[in-house]
Chains A and B, each alone.
Chain A
Amino acid sequence: MEKQTSRKSLASKAVVVTVFAATLITAARMHGAASREQSASPQEVKIDNFSFSTPELTVAAGTEVTWVNRDDIPHTVFSEDGSFHSKALDTDDKYTFKFAKPGTYHYFCSIHPKMTGEIIVK
């Protein structure tokens, strides 16, 4: 019984979320910049000269973000909460992580910790 109720409740929530999302998409279409940031299409963050090219990136849940190291020096992508981390990326190496859950993910280069960035998943 309890399970069913729970499902029912989830289903009604899903409808609300869908409507909300549709409203968001409409709103996003009206504001070009916002729609680019919140697209679910794969996103790329370049690493060059000891920095992340887009230190703050906003994406939709489910977006794959790929970091590509264009620097002469190896770097890593380490989330502060330990939810994801790459191995050392040498020049032109890439690392991809799919952000399934909404939230703000702070990350840094564990070799050069002054390099920081965040992914905001909506």
Chain B
Amino acid sequence: MKRDEIIYDHDHNHDGVDRRGFLKCMTWAGTGALCVMRGGVLSSYALGEASKKKMAGDLSFVQISDSHMGFNKPANPDVRATLQVALDRIDALATKPEFLIHTGDITHLSRPEQFDTVGQMLTGKDVFYVPGEHDNIDDNGKGYLDRFGKNTQGAGWYSFDKKGVHFIGLVNVVNLKAGGLGTLGPEQLEWLEKDVKHLSHSTPIVVFAHIPLWTVYQDWGWGTEDSGQALSYLKKFGSVTVLNGHIHQIMQKVEGNITFHTACSTAFPQPQPGAASGPGPMKVPPEQLRGLLGITDVNYVRGKHALAVIDSTLA
């Protein structure tokens, strides 16, 4: 069954920040749902379309997220298989991505064998990672940093440039405080300010981090305490795209020059904000599961202010 769901289209009560022209809408992956924001920059299409169509552009890359290697509960007893499906879909894209971004929760429990499994499955691909809170369990992030965080700063933040686009990987999953949301922390914020200071205003910026850098749902911790500070450093740029994971579903929002986008998990879906008593994994019939898991394909067209973000599902 295919269906589109616009959950709500105006909601800025969660974070106390006054926003105009705020639009938050949500499409369920796997349903062929389309979410278009007029004057905005995001479009999402079903995988069928994305995989066959050659996309015009100077740069394309793919976002995957929340592979949760090691998870084996009823919501998805085989997360390795669904990650492999995502990788096969990526290999089948007509527009070959230059690299992959993994927005965290690579593993479920930060165990060495879980990191290594994902590392082996992604061998041969150019992957840029940021850690999720599940990659930072019991070892202060050492397992993650040793494997995927070489040449990064602090808990694993860094930036790089590809074809004129400036990419920034941020870490908002360490030193979390009781009752709080994700946190970037003063050291990282200071680094970020310096990192973008000398870039020209016309440089397209892509920021990626695990927990959303906008408040999706405060009650479930789906937001980042000090993201406002980080985003203030990015206000001068004409085009900023923020890619996050963590919430295991697609959400998009445009706010001024900034487009926010969350990706599906390759492992298991989570409920819509507030649609359940808690954000625990959604158990769906096996035949529906792959329709709720996915990858995100991003295509940058030089000279335009838009990054086209296409979410694809594993169905």
**A interface list, Cβ under 8 A from B:** 48-51, 71-74, 76, 78, 80, 87-88, 90-91, 106-108, 110-114, 116
Contacts and interface: CB of A to CB of B under 8 A. Distances in A.
The size bracket of the interface on B is: 20 to 34
A114 B280 contact: no
B258 to A, nearest CB: 25
B177 A111 contact: no
B134 interface: yes
Contacts of A88: 109-110, 137-138
Interface string B208-224: 00000000000111000
B interface: dominant SS = loop
Contacts of B220: 50, 114
Contact of B280 (A72, A111, A113): A72
Contacts of B178: 78, 80, 106-108, 113, 116
A49 B137 contact: no
B17 to A, nearest CB: 19
Given A80-B178, A88-B109, A108-B179, A113 B277 contact: no
A111 B179 CA distance: 11
A91 B179 contact: no
B279 interface: yes
A51 B278 contact: yes
Contacts of B276: 49
Contacts of B133: 111-112
Nearest to B218: A114
